[in-house]
Amino acid sequence: MNSTLDRFVGGKQGAIGLAILAALILVVFPLLLDAFRLNMVGKYLTYAFVAVGLVLCWGYGGILSLGQGIFFGLGGYCMAMFLKLEASDPESTKIQSTPGIPDFMDWNQITELPWFWEPFNSFGFTLLAVIAVPVILALVIGVAMFKRRVGDVYFSIVTQAIALILTVLIIGQQGLTGGVNGITDLKTLMGWDIRSDEAKLILYFVNAFLLLGCILIGKFILTSKLGRLLMAMRDKEERVRFCGYDVAAFKIFVFCVGAAFAAIGGAMFTLQVGFMSPSFVGIVPSIEMVIFCAVGGRLSLLGAVYGALLVNFGKTYFSETLPELWLFLMGGLFIAVVMYFPNGLAGLWQSHGQKWLVRLQTKLRKPTPPAPLPRNDKRDDGESKPLAAAEPSKLETSV
Amino acid sequence: MDSQLKGAKLRFPRRLALGAAALSMLAASAFAAPPTAEVNTTGLAVTDTEVVVGQLHSATGTMAISETGSIQAERLAIEQINAAGGILGRQIKVIQEDGASDWPTFAEKSRKLLVNDKVAAVFGCWTSASRKAVLPVFERENGLLYYPTFYEGLEQSKNVVYTGQEATQQILAGLDWVAKEKEAKTYYLLGSDYIWPRTSMKIARKHIETVLGGKVVGEEYYPLGHTQFGSLINKVKLKKPDVVFAAVVGGSNVAFYKQLKAAGVTAEKQTLLTLSVTEDELLGIGGENMAGFYASMKYFQSLDNPNNAAFVEAFKAKYGQDAVIGDVTQAAYLGPWLWKAAVEKAGSFDVDKVVAATPGIELTTAPEGYVKVHENQHLWSKTRIGEVLPNGQFKVVYESDLIEPNPFPKGYQ
């Protein structure tokens, strides 16, 4: 029981980190930010799904996908299709030549709902499709590539090409997809107005819990035997293969998990922002998503969340205060991260923050035990209490 | 209270002087600026001396080159309004946000402007995609957007004033002119592949086939950013249409016209009418590569009237002698002036009242001449045909009457 829990949260260290993050996004942000800023944080957190997936794929699996926008976009589009159909009831589209179909179809002389839009009338199907469509695509890509032992940089390039192909396809088929404008003007989810402030607050919390859920799943995978195999593969693929493991199967699995996470993020993005467009599918957003992960630290699931938050916060802040210069500042931030903290925020935390935390702990402990410190690890029961008491204060100082 | 008590201790003449001063100040403020509580009942960012507006264009990214002209023109108009005493006695303060050529960023920034900054109006957007992205935000938060670009129509929101032309205004006059002047019978339609060219060509085809009795011999679309027009040029040479009707946008323009010229398809042999080349685009294409071709627009920098002369002079004085002014730049310049007229007519900054006052607003000082706002919040405007000159300017060869805006054209859908 305890050990399973341990595996989910990743030990005491992991539990503290997770608690801090949960407190931050579940308590601190909602209390400190107004509805508008909170909705923006919600949007940033949808990118964190992708970044968490990338930590699994890239940081631990060694698979650098430069096309996570594909899955983010597909998840988002599946959700957007459902919402668009709901927003295009015959009543509100009666000025069209064909009422009852999405407005962009009407502009493109389409008179009937295309067959692949039909199932998206059902919410159940949509929820399934949000995960299933991207995962199936990831499975196809994964099987086609990893079974043939295509890896490394070739894999990255192919994912980029697929992202580009998908963008061209979506833009080109504008009658079926909304083209470059995307699917816009989404209003309600099963009759519930998703544009109101209350709805945005609820969606924010749904989003936050889903994200924490994904992080737990990620931790569970990483602490399992599978996680160790992934790391072994990343460091020396041949060795794992010669041990008799089917390397391709593991890679496909972790790639699909990454795709599923990205897709959940995409669907939540659509719900919170109110539209979906091909500008999230292409090469540039896909690379941006890798940057979130790199800034956060590609070996840390929690770091990825902070990375997504920090980069997007920087984007918003700089572009609001210095509309003409902000791109240079963002560029400077990335260069600084790559030059000075190659392991990202998480690396920074491990090299500096943890030392400081240990020093803090020792300071706090000193008054209670008169005995010298090195013997600490032997006393189990007596030790756990002061540590537990120290945790809340640590919580505060780190936030 | 405090000042009254102090005043009571003063000797008579000073009290009189003070009282007179206070009275005159009161009177002055009453004439110049009506009280804020009266002109602003919905909590917009309006003080006794200031009103805040937003400006939302792409200052960075691929659209920056197109949108910079709009940013400059809006700034110029706002400065001129401020210099002339502002609106209802209040100076206009601008909060500029960068949409960064990215549609979700536009949506985010528009929310920021409306919800956080509580701006009284927003001047912004350029592409249809960015307008579509912000539209739900403006409708939900009840904001007011002045949108400057000529666009495909099929939209009419009470929260948007469209200061550019919608598709029928720009297209029908152009086609009528070319059918009459050039006795055109066969047309080759060509555009970039997105909603504006497709909708425009749909309208054009209907008009050519049903009204003009002509024939469309080809219709093709190329992805945005496409640069290889060799096969298309061969088809044009083969089919020899009387008119090539083009709506190619952005970087593709440069490649298209240079390749046309290289293939020997010049104005002597081929009539070409475009919907998408203004003075701004000509800077990139080069006037010599397009000389003799025609463009259908509501405004050209070379328009000969006193309003335009003053506008061009002010624009060049502020942004340099080499600055060029295209159709959209002029339309963007109209935005703040139309808003000023509507606010003054309504006597209030409240969006609902400004919207109610907007239809029927006339602007006799517009560089393009005269415009009037229709009930559908588009502008009545004239369409001009300009012939490209080698120096990158247009010679106006035709001017239509005022054309009624019709964003949902019956029979053309």
The pLDDT of residue B7 = 39
Residues A57-64: what's their mean pLDDT? 92
Do A35 and B60 lie within an 8 Å CB cutoff? no
Closest chain B residue to A182 measured between Cα atoms? B129
**Interface membership of B166 toward A (CB under 8 Å):** no
pLDDT band at A392 (very low <50, low <70, confident <90, very high): very low
Show the domains of chain B with their CATH numbers.
Answer: 2-32 (no CATH), 50-163+304-367 (3.40.50.2300), 168-297+386-403 (3.40.50.2300)
The pLDDT of residue B105 = 86
Residues 103-122 of B with CB under 8 A from A: 103-105, 107-109, 111-112, 115-116
Question: Which of B98, B116, B199 lies closest to A36 in CB terms?
Answer: B116
Residues A273-297: what's their mean pLDDT? 89
Per-residue model confidence as pLDDT tens digits over A112-156: 899 999 999 999 999 999 999 999 999 999 999 999 988 888 999
Residue A130 CA to its chain's centroid (Å): 14
Q: Is A155 exposed, middle or buried (0-12, 13-18, 19+ CB in 10 A)?
A: buried
Task: Identify the helix (H) or strand (E) that includes residue A237.
Answer: helix A237-242
What number of other Cβ atoms are within 10 A of residue B324's Cβ?
Answer: 19
B246 has pLDDT over 50: yes
Q: What is the DSSP code (8-state) at residue B219?
A: E
A207 has pLDDT over 90: yes
Domain residue spans of chain A: 2-344
Do A171 and B195 lie within an 8 Å CB cutoff? no
**Interface membership of B39 toward A (CB under 8 Å):** no
CA distances from B335 to A329, B55, B118, B163, B178 (A): 32, 11, 18, 7, 31
The pLDDT of residue B297 = 95
| Chain A hits for B151, Cβ within 8 Å | none
A396 has pLDDT over 50: no
Residue A125 CA to its chain's centroid (Å): 23
| Chain A hits for B136, Cβ within 8 Å | 184-187, 195, 274-275
Helix (H, G, I), strand (E, B) or coil at A247: helix
Residues B11-31: what's their mean pLDDT? 47
Per-residue model confidence as pLDDT tens digits over B358-390: 999 999 999 999 999 999 999 999 999 999 999
Residues B231-237: what's their mean pLDDT? 94
Task: Identify the helix (H) or strand (E) that includes residue B98.
Answer: strand B91-98
pLDDT band at B32 (very low <50, low <70, confident <90, very high): low
Per-residue model confidence as pLDDT tens digits over B216-230: 999 998 877 788 999
What number of other Cβ atoms are within 10 A of residue A28's Cβ?
Answer: 12
Per-residue model confidence as pLDDT tens digits over B274-289: 999 999 889 889 999 9
| Chain B hits for A171, Cβ within 8 Å | 193-194, 223-224
CA distances from A127 to A76, A123, A268, B119, B218 (A): 11, 6, 11, 38, 43
| Chain A hits for B154, Cβ within 8 Å | 103, 107
Q: How far apart are the first and last CA of chain A?
A: 30
Do A323 and B98 lie within an 8 Å CB cutoff? yes
Span of A8-17, A25-34, B99-108, B331-340 with lowest mean pLDDT: A8-17
pTM, entire model? 0.80
A26 has pLDDT over 90: yes
The pLDDT of residue A8 = 65
Per-residue model confidence as pLDDT tens digits over B47-96: 999 999 999 999 887 778 788 899 999 999 999 999 999 999 999 999 99
Do B133 and A184 lie within an 8 Å CB cutoff? yes
Residue B114 CA to its chain's centroid (Å): 21
| H-state helical runs in A88-122 | 103-107
The pLDDT of residue A103 = 85
The pLDDT of residue A6 = 67
ipTM given for this complex: 0.71
pLDDT band at A13 (very low <50, low <70, confident <90, very high): confident
Per-residue model confidence as pLDDT tens digits over A316-340: 888 777 767 777 887 887 788 778 8
The pLDDT of residue B3 = 41
pLDDT band at A9 (very low <50, low <70, confident <90, very high): low
Q: Any idea how long chain B is?
A: 413
Task: Identify the helix (H) or strand (E) that includes residue B384.
Answer: strand B379-388
| Chain A hits for B199, Cβ within 8 Å | 107
**Interface membership of B100 toward A (CB under 8 Å):** yes
Angle at the Cα of A325 from the Cα atoms of A319 and A328, rounded to 5 degrees: 100
Do B60 and A95 lie within an 8 Å CB cutoff? no
Question: Which of B103, B132, B199 lies closest to A279 in CB terms?
Answer: B103
On the CB side of A32, CA atoms within 13 Å amount to 8
The pLDDT of residue A187 = 87
**Interface membership of B195 toward A (CB under 8 Å):** yes
**Interface membership of B60 toward A (CB under 8 Å):** yes
Do B98 and A326 lie within an 8 Å CB cutoff? yes
Per-residue model confidence as pLDDT tens digits over B305-347: 999 999 999 999 999 999 999 999 999 999 999 999 999 999 9
Question: Which of B60, B129, B202 lies closest to A181 in CB terms?
Answer: B129
The pLDDT of residue B384 = 96
Query: Number of Cβ pairs closer than 8 Å across A and B?
Result: 99
The pLDDT of residue A334 = 78
Per-residue model confidence as pLDDT tens digits over B193-219: 877 888 899 899 999 999 999 999 999
pLDDT band at B26 (very low <50, low <70, confident <90, very high): very low
User: What is the least distance, in Å, from the CA of A368 to any CA of chain B?
Assistant: 51
The pLDDT of residue A196 = 86
The pLDDT of residue B192 = 87
Question: Which of A184, A277, A324 lies closest to B136 in CB terms?
Answer: A184
Residue with tokens 């309004």: B81
On the CB side of A75, CA atoms within 13 Å amount to 27
Q: What is the DSSP code (8-state) at residue A373?
A: G
**Interface membership of B136 toward A (CB under 8 Å):** yes
Residues B151-157: what's their mean pLDDT? 89
Interface test with B, best of A92, A98, A319 (most B CBs within 10 A): A319
Written as six digits, the tokens of A61 are 């699996």
User: What is the least distance, in Å, from the CA of B11 to any CA of chain A?
Assistant: 52
Q: What is the DSSP code (8-state) at residue B112?
A: I
The pLDDT of residue B1 = 39
Do A180 and B224 lie within an 8 Å CB cutoff? yes
A381 has pLDDT over 80: no
| Chain B hits for A323, Cβ within 8 Å | 59, 96-98
User: What is the least distance, in Å, from the CA of B325 to any CA of chain A?
Assistant: 21
A398 has pLDDT over 60: no
Interface test with A, best of B195, B202, B205, B410 (most A CBs within 10 A): B195
Q: How do strand B271-274 and strand B243-247 relate by DSSP bridges?
A: parallel
Closest chain B residue to A269 measured between Cα atoms? B104
Helix (H, G, I), strand (E, B) or coil at A363: helix
Closest chain B residue to A187 measured between Cα atoms? B136
pLDDT band at A35 (very low <50, low <70, confident <90, very high): confident
Closest chain A residue to B192 measured between Cα atoms? A172
